[in-house]
Amino acid sequence: MRCFYDPGYYLPLPPDHPFPMDKFPRAAAMLREAWPEVRVEPAHPAPMEDLLRVHACGYLALIEAGTLAQRARQRLGLPHHPRLLHRSRLETGGTLQAARAALTDGIAANLAGGTHHAFPDAGLGYCVLNDVAVAARALHAADPALRLAVVDTDAHQGNGTHAIFAEDPRVATYSIHVGRNYPAKKEPGDCDVPLPRYAGPEEYLAALDASLRPFLHSVEPDLVFWISGADCHEADRFGQLRLDTPSLRERDFRVCRALREVAAPLVVLYGGGYNRDRVHTARLHAQSVLAAASIWEILPTGPPKSAQHLRCRTGEPPGVPG
């Protein structure tokens, strides 16, 4: 199973910034340690030609120059950095590479991605570029008949992705999320499953079971992007759900079993994760990748019993400030 990653996914942020950028190098190091056979391949920046199938040229120029208006900067939630656009292009390139790898291999992952709040001309909620939209449009440029599905189990609705594909019948969108949480204005998708705030594991898993299989069987996709989302965890800052670590692992397995049933190639992406325990954020993302690998019967020794086994024996991965 190929996993795409680049150390450039990490971008230094102010120390009090809530986005845990260190989760990318941490989760990659945990995966390599838990699963030495994993094939981690370098991500390349998404070509500008692919970005422009989704994003407005003027918006990209504002990001690159650091000249977003104050209100737009606040909505994005990330400060200017000379490498911000490059970093986002790397992450988007990783999703595009993973999508192409999945079509060949059956499954692949980007060790990041799922930036589902980004709109064509605006970044929202830490999402600069909509990686899934860029990848989907690039795949359609090569094969316009591909039926694509986006399965979004991040705690927040994938509003940018829903809006971008609202008029495109070739991309079906599913989102299970907290109804009264960010983003305040939801965009209708093909299957939206809003949950009450602070829903627990039983309620969450029952809603997932009742909705995901019917969605997948009605779409019969040729490729699925799964935005897993670690922010459904009970200790997340922003997710407003109450899944403990074993329940989140159970969520991952149920999603992957349902995806496996429809036999569509799968792209695994992270989505959000803002755990109060920063190391645990990385652990939960790694857990989702391992769940998919084990359901696809790629992991030689089966999945680890618990996310608590995921750690970094060698200490801090490179690029993480102490």
Q: Which stretches of the chain bind Zn ion, using CB under 5 A? A: 154-156, 231, 272
Which of 115, 109, 210, 194 minimizes the C-alpha distance to 155? 194
- Answer yes or no: are the C-beta atoms of 172 and 219 closer than 8 Å: yes
- Token duo for residue 73: 């900067």
Contacts of 177 (CB under 8 A, 6+ apart): 152, 154, 155, 156, 157, 158, 192, 193, 194, 195
Calculate the dihedral angle through the C-alpha atoms of 142, 147, 151, 156, rounding to the nearest 10 degrees.
70
Instruction: Write down the residue that tokens 């959000």 correspond to.
Output: 272
Strand partners, 42: 5
Q: Which is nearer to Zn ion, 160 or 272 (CB)?
A: 272
Nearer to Zn ion, 158 or 319 (CB): 158
Least separation in angstroms between residue 137's CB and Zn ion is 23
Q: Least CB distance from residue 91 to Zn ion, whole Å?
A: 15
CB 241 within 8 A of CB 272: no
C-alpha distances (whole Å) from 263 to each of 83, 126, 169, 211, 256 are 38, 32, 20, 18, 11
Closer Cβ to Zn ion, 138 or 241, answer by number: 241
Nearer to Zn ion, 87 or 177 (CB): 177
Minimal distance, residue 308 CB to Zn ion, in Å: 23
Structure-token match 């900067």, residue found: 73
Instruction: Rank residues 154 and 192 by Cβ distance to Zn ion and give the closer one.
Output: 154
CB of 304 to Zn ion, least distance (A): 24
Minimum gap (Å) between residue 233 Cβ and Zn ion:
11
Q: What is the rounded distance in angstroms from the CA atom of residue 208 to the CA atom of residue 5?
A: 29
Task: Give the nearer residue to Zn ion in terms of CB position, either 229 or 319.
Answer: 229
How many angstroms separate the CA atoms of 248 and 250, rounded?
5
Which CB sits closer to Zn ion, 156 or 162? Answer: 156
d(CA 51, CA 133): 9
Q: Least distance in Å: CB of 11 to Zn ion?
A: 19
Smallest distance, Å, CB 142 to Zn ion? 30
Tell me the residue nearest to Zn ion as measured from the CB. 272
